[in-house]
Structure 1
Amino acid sequence: MSEDRDRTKPVLLHPVLPSSEVPTWPGAVWVGRLDLGASGVTDRDGYRLVGADGYRRARLAILRDRELSGFVEVDVHGDHLDGAEVSRAVAGLSPATGPRLRILNRDVARPVTVVVCTRDRVAMLRVALESILASDYPDFDVVVVDNASATDETRRYVDEFDDPRVRVVVEPRAGLSRARNAGLRAATGEIVAFTDDDVVVDSGWLGELTRAFDWDCSVACVCGIVPSGEIRTPAQAYFDQRVGWASSCTPRLFDLADPPADVPLFPFQVGIYGTGANFAVDRRTAASLGGFDEALGAGSPTDGGEDLDMFFRVLHAGRQLAYQPAAIVWHRHRADNAALAVQARGYGLGLGAWLCKIMLHPRTAGLAVRTAIVKVPTVVRLSRKLSVDVAPSRALADSLPPGIGAVELWSIAKGPAAYLRARREGRRRAPLEGLDDGCV
């Protein structure tokens, strides 16, 4: 982040996700942010990077008066960035082309409860919590959900936390959906924001999420952007190239009654909305939908898909979903190949399981079939594109597990069986259904 400085010295920039590990891979990219303020003018005196050892390139998120303009990559010279080089890169960013979104008038900030689900990862949780509590939003509290942990370390850490805004609840049954539902039950805020324990949130994260709820009176869910906070290893570089969480810096408003022309398989074209590491829901709407499906998500046989399911259900219920890239959460991707393979399998299983759920219910199955029939060429084209997207680049292929892309594709096919197995275990589709709002 930019800091005040002597005008004769370069601007000091810090990494968004500090790490004590120096990269040994030559393709590593240092990641930071640069807020240019309202003027939008870069500093030609240059920039000095903290923690730049081992990095040859740097990626900067460029913000103009807190609005995300895009990302640039430039060479690292020792521990410095050339100011003129950064200026040229920033000048090359395309201007935003999204629709003008009106803002409803609101005199006071709406109370927000932030839910962080975790399991035996106190070191990561500590970093995430510190960034959340540094938020400049005026009215929020934090619920840490300790989900089926093997020890009481998380509970002891939060109980000893010297901040009245933070509390811990325990969900002894394994599963991310169950943990998210426990967070919903414990939430007191009008809006419930979800993030993970392996992230750092931007200081304006909550403010930008809540602002997007005021784009229209029907907005019930807001997703933010989730850029890579660390690209230190080939596994992280592959994940950075693979996911679409940070592919767009243009605000969007999605409505089932007004399908976007550039999203032909809407609302089934996953990856355009966001991800579970950065989204917020209207608490009453989430309760009316019954909460998160326990058969989906990490810790269940399906290992994912609970976020996609919630986004879809919000839209299918006739509410709007907003995408607000100015709400930034930096994610620490899996750094080693073994963890990457597990994650690829989970993403495939979750997607396949969610599609199975869609096809098991007449209303959603009918919508899916009609969409697919009308857009057969698009389905074929996007299927081919997916097979290309999951394949690592030549520069990364030799450093990654063989067939890493195929792991995700094969796992999609296994998703339906995983979903049915989760149902047989008694995992409920809408566990909060029927609860009075005051109980949630």
Structure 2
Amino acid sequence: MELSVVVPTLNARRRLARALDALDTHLPDVEVVVVNGPSSDGTSGLVRDHPAADVLLEIPERNLNASRNAGLAAATGDVVAFVDHRSVVREGWYDALAAAIEAGADVVTGPVHRAVSGGVTTEECERETVAGRDVRYFDGGNVAFTRAAAEALDGFDEYLETGAARDAAHRLAGLDTRVVWEPAFAVLRADGDDVPDRVAETPEGSATGLKYRALAYRLAKNYGVSLSVAWRAVRHALREAGAAARDVLDGDETPSSWLSRGRAVLTNAVSGVEAGLRARRRDRTPTRNPNGVSSRMDRAMSRYDL
């Protein structure tokens, strides 16, 4: 197995240093491609001096999925893994991946252990059936694809600012690929002390708004419009509204902010459905990715072989 590890990053120098240190310790002989968005915290200098990094790509876009796709296009391995700048690979990560690939897996994912006060909490395997598809979700910061599976997906959908890994999980289910959950394929994630990436402060650009735009987009793009799929989106929105209403009753949120969140959900859901149906028309193949690697081969970026 020839493995490449892609590490997208943006303004997270300290966290990235920990991620690269772990790769250098546990995977010293694999290709590591770091894709740096327009960071302003000295990330480029860190990467150039770090022994784990083999390739540094500098791109002008702040879109995580643009970074993932740029790294995928540059990687040379027959297996490509994605580890985000917060994720520290654990001992046994490589062996678990190699065993799963040898056993015939197309995609390998595993738990993300999150550091919390007093210990860690661990994500569990998440899967569901949607319109007859068995969808197994994965964290985009701890996943590996065979080259064939990555090319069948055409990478991640760059329309999405959030939720692209879940979109890819739906598309993998449609492509009938074998997605394997390996408990030993684990990373530890801690937020660290970097300044967090900012989300736009307008209601339409809030985290809630982006979440529902992504949800509506991936459902419309992958499944079209049907009553069962529409009800799935409505059910998510009702749960969001119920949680917000409880916050209002508890005094943690004002009625005006609750209404603002509601408008953000509705506006972004409608926008996501429209964009998803356009994307579905643009790519009628099972790949369902009109905004993938192949559409961005002329991407502006600088490459440094280290």
Q: Could you say which residue in structure 2 is the equivalent of 1:204?
A: 92
For 2:45 and 2:12, locate their aligned partners in 1 and report how far apart those are by CA, in whole Å: 13
Q: Secondary structure at the match of 1:197?
A: coil
- TM-score, normalization by structure 1: 0.51
Q: Could you say which residue in structure 2 is the equivalent of 1:415?
A: 268
Conserved 8 A contact 1:348-1:411: yes
For 2:254 and 2:97, locate their aligned partners in 1 and report how far apart those are by CA, in whole Å: 39
For 1:389 and 1:278, locate their aligned partners in 2 and report how far apart those are by CA, in whole Å: 32
Q: Does 1:161 align with 2:161?
A: no
User: Could you tell me how far 1:138 is from its partner in structure 2?
Assistant: 7.0
Conserved 8 A contact 1:113-1:191: yes
Q: Does 1:118 align with 2:9?
A: yes
User: Could you tell me how far 1:360 is from its partner in structure 2?
Assistant: 4.4
For 1:316 and 1:360, locate their aligned partners in 2 and report how far apart those are by CA, in whole Å: 12
- TM-score, normalization by structure 2: 0.70
Q: Could you say which residue in structure 2 is the equivalent of 1:275?
A: 139
Conserved 8 A contact 2:10-2:62: no
Pairing 1:319-398 to 2, within 5 Å after superposition:
319-333=177-191, 345-346=206-207, 349-360=210-221, 364-365=223-224, 369=226, 372=229, 379=232, 383=236, 386-387=239-240
The residue identity in structure 2 corresponding to 1:319 is: T
Q: Could you say which residue in structure 1 is the equivalent of 2:36?
A: 146
For 2:187 and 2:57, locate their aligned partners in 1 and report how far apart those are by CA, in whole Å: 23
Which has the bigger relative contact order, CA under 8 A and spacing at least 6? 2
The residue identity in structure 2 corresponding to 1:119 is: L
Inter-CA distance 284–348: structure 2 relative to 1 (3 Å threshold): farther
Q: Could you say which residue in structure 1 is the equivalent of 2:165?
A: 307
The structure with the larger Rg is 1
Q: Secondary structure at the match of 1:179?
A: helix
Pairing 1:2-401 to 2, within 5 Å after superposition:
110-135=1-26, 137=27, 139-150=29-40, 153-163=42-52, 166-216=54-104, 219-231=105-117, 246-248=123-125, 263-265=128-130, 273-297=137-161, 304-333=162-191, 345-346=206-207, 349-360=210-221, 364-365=223-224, 369=226, 372=229, 379=232, 383=236, 386-387=239-240
1:316-335 CA-to-partner distances (Å, cap 9, x unmatched) read 11212122222111222589
User: Could you tell me how far 1:279 is from its partner in structure 2?
Assistant: 1.0
User: Could you tell me how far 1:113 is from its partner in structure 2?
Assistant: 0.8
Inter-CA distance 264–285: structure 2 relative to 1 (3 Å threshold): closer
Inter-CA distance 339–187: structure 2 relative to 1 (3 Å threshold): closer
1:289-339 CA-to-partner distances (Å, cap 9, x unmatched) read 322211112xxxxxx011111122122112121222221112225899x98
Conserved 8 A contact 1:111-1:139: no
Q: Could you say which residue in structure 2 is the equivalent of 1:62?
A: none
Inter-CA distance 402–280: structure 2 relative to 1 (3 Å threshold): farther
Inter-CA distance 358–381: structure 2 relative to 1 (3 Å threshold): closer
The residue identity in structure 1 corresponding to 2:31 is: D
The residue identity in structure 2 corresponding to 1:247 is: E
User: Could you tell me how far 1:413 is from its partner in structure 2?
Assistant: 3.8
1:242-281 CA-to-partner distances (Å, cap 9, x unmatched) read xxx7134xxx9x8xxxxxxxx34467797x5222121111
Conserved 8 A contact 1:113-1:189: yes
Conserved 8 A contact 2:113-2:187: yes
User: Could you tell me how far 1:174 is from its partner in structure 2?
Assistant: 2.4
The residue identity in structure 2 corresponding to 1:432 is: S
Inter-CA distance 380–150: structure 2 relative to 1 (3 Å threshold): closer
Inter-CA distance 386–331: structure 2 relative to 1 (3 Å threshold): farther
Structure 1, gaps ≥5 residues long = 1-109, 255-262, 298-303, 436-440
For 1:139 and 1:117, locate their aligned partners in 2 and report how far apart those are by CA, in whole Å: 19
Aligned pairs, number: 278
Structure number having the greater helix percentage: 2
Q: Secondary structure at the match of 1:227?
A: strand
Structure 2, gaps ≥5 residues long = 280-288, 298-306
For 2:73 and 2:66, locate their aligned partners in 1 and report how far apart those are by CA, in whole Å: 11
Matched-pair identity in %: 23
RMSD: 4.5
For 1:388 and 1:169, locate their aligned partners in 2 and report how far apart those are by CA, in whole Å: 41
1:365-403 CA-to-partner distances (Å, cap 9, x unmatched) read 26xx37549xx7xx5996499449967999xx88x7779
Inter-CA distance 328–140: structure 2 relative to 1 (3 Å threshold): same
User: Could you tell me how far 1:351 is from its partner in structure 2?
Assistant: 4.8
Q: Secondary structure at the match of 1:113?
A: strand
